[in-house]
Amino acid sequence: MSGFTDLRDKLKSMTPHRDNYKKVFEHNNGEKRKHRESDDEESEYEERRDAEARKVKSGIKQANIFTPEECARIEAKIDEVVAKGDKGLYREHTVDRAPLRNKYFFGEGYTYGSQLEKRGPGQERLYSKGEVDDIPDWVHELVIDRLVAHGVIPEGFVNSAVINDYQPGGCIVSHVDPIHIFERPIVSVSFFSDSALCFGCKFNFKPIRVTEPVLHLPVLRGSVTILSGYAADDITHCIRPQDIKERRAVIILRKTRQDAPRLDSDSLSPSLHSSEKRRILKAKRSHRKADPDAAHRPRVLEMDKELQRRSLSSRQRQHSDNGSENSRRRVEEREPSSRYTHSHNTHDHAPARRVKMRRH
């Protein structure tokens, strides 16, 4: 007898490799299925990203209005603003200095970022009236009036003008212009060099890193960019360090909401007496006069600092190793036979003298 009671068992015994093929087939099919799922997820991600980019584009308008000659004239005026700020001739809250980027508020200024007592969107507040300087006449004549004439903004729309002056490598982190502070649209005009505005990025620091944007929008010298809808309200925008290769300035023109929250004068520094405020302000202005180039002195970005720290650490380790070697040699010179010969006196078994190593 063959010993098989079931024909299927007999067939299985005659083709034992079929099970292995089946397992391999199922395994390969599973891998293919996973691969297809991965491809499907990536494809779905790209589709969502493209859909969001289309939404962003729907809220952006750009126009080339200013000629190179007009740009040069406006840029000379921006230089005058910078020089005046360096001399401390503006009101305290007109000028806001940061590494590789200075802001000049005119008409209306507001608290943001590290200035906020409570961090987060919705906490921004307008300064009380008179805390920043008025919008310069040249901004009205050379910029605002031109935009009104081209139908970009209506007459009387702008009551807030900000000049952002970037040095190479400067940036502004991802943000949404406060919806509770400013009406839409947000209008900006670029000067000095070409750059880019990025949407949907995330910043990380130490070292500074920026994720890929949902949309990378080229911004040319003399061009006007108008943000509204999805581009202004539903996605963040930023200026990345790698997009500022030369000095670049932008004039941002906005209208504040009538119901925008405003700081009281006394709430700016409630713990300081007015005399103390004046003393601090005077010290700030004296520093600006003594060092007018401080505002534009390039700082080393965090990514460069990291390289410097690594280099310094390497040098310190090398120096420490050299110091240890020198100390060892000095000990050997003082006790040349202690390691290589044995004496027969009573000190043979005495504990070795401990030598304190100095770290240079």
**Catalytic sites, residue numbers:** 110
Can you read off the two tokens belonging to residue 156?
A: 């009387």
How many CB atoms sit inside 10 A of residue 264's CB?
A: 10
DSSP H helices, the chain, are 7-14, 17-58, 68-86, 137-139, 145-149, 229-233, 274-290, 302-334
* Cα–Cα distance measured from residue 181 to residue 115, given in angstroms and rounded to the nearest whole number: 16
CB proximity list for 174: less than 8 A, separation 6 or greater: 200, 201, 202, 203, 236, 237, 238
Q: Which helix (H) or strand (E) holds 98?
A: strand 95-98
Please compute, for residue 303, the number of CA atoms within 13 A of its CA located in the half-sphere on the CB side: 7
Find the helix or strand (DSSP H, E) in which 226 lies: strand 223-227
353 burial level (CB within 10 Å; 0-12, 13-18, 19+): exposed
Closest to 210 measured CA to CA, from 166, 169, 257: 169
Residues whose CB falls within 8 Å of the CB of residue 186, separated by 6 or more in sequence, listed in order: 177, 226, 227, 228, 232, 252, 254
Angle of CA points 297, 301, 304, to nearest 5° = 120
Residue-by-residue DSSP string for 157-208: ---EEEEEEEPTT--EEEE---TTTB-S-EEEEEESS-EEEEES--EETTTT
Pick from 291, 270, 5, 252: nearest CA to 107 = 252
